[in-house]
Structure 1
């Protein structure tokens, strides 16, 4: 049911290398070029990325250790909660950027 642990490990490693450093760099003060300028709400983007990253180990680790299906389903459900948190952070960042620049295009 849980698939090959090697594939889950590779996906978790790739996600860790691609998502985690960017979110941590933004939380430490670095601002990506596309978010510079009149958009001061960069930290909610980083929290959204961290929330999305939290889904990766929640889905991969129980499958890698061949956990029972109830545990896998509980972790998947918890992962959906983190997706909702990420969406909320993205919406917060968008609203904050619109408060700063009220003439922003849709």
Structure 2
């Protein structure tokens, strides 16, 4: 049922290398060029991406460990909590960006 753990490990490693660096850099103070005018909105965006990243190990690790179907299903259901948290962070980022006003173009 859980498939080949090697494929899950490869997908988790690739996802980690592609998704994780940017939100961690934002949370440590770096602001991407596209968000320079909205620095206050960058942190909620980073938290939203981290919530979505959490789905990767939450989905892959139980399958890699050949967990029972109930455990895999419980992790899948828990993933919806992180999806809801990401939606909340995206909404907070949008509200923060609107409160900050229009972006100034130099």
How does the TM-score come out when normalised to structure 1? 0.92
In the alignment, structure 2 segments of 5+ residues that lack a partner are none
Q: What's 1:58 paired with?
A: 58
Give the Cα–Cα distance (whole angstroms) in 1 for the partners of residues 31 and 102 of structure 2.
21
The verdict on how the C-alpha distance between 1:39 and 1:68 changes in structure 2, with shifts beyond 3 A counting, is same
The verdict on how the C-alpha distance between 1:48 and 1:38 changes in structure 2, with shifts beyond 3 A counting, is closer
Higher mean C-alpha displacement, 4-13 vs 34-43: 34-43
Could you give the per-residue CA deviations for residues 20-43 of structure 1, whole angstroms, max 9, x where no partner exists? 111110000000111111452110
In the alignment, structure 1 segments of 5+ residues that lack a partner are none
Pairs within 5 Å for 1:10-49: 10-49=10-49
RMSD: 1.4
| Structure with more helix by fraction | 2
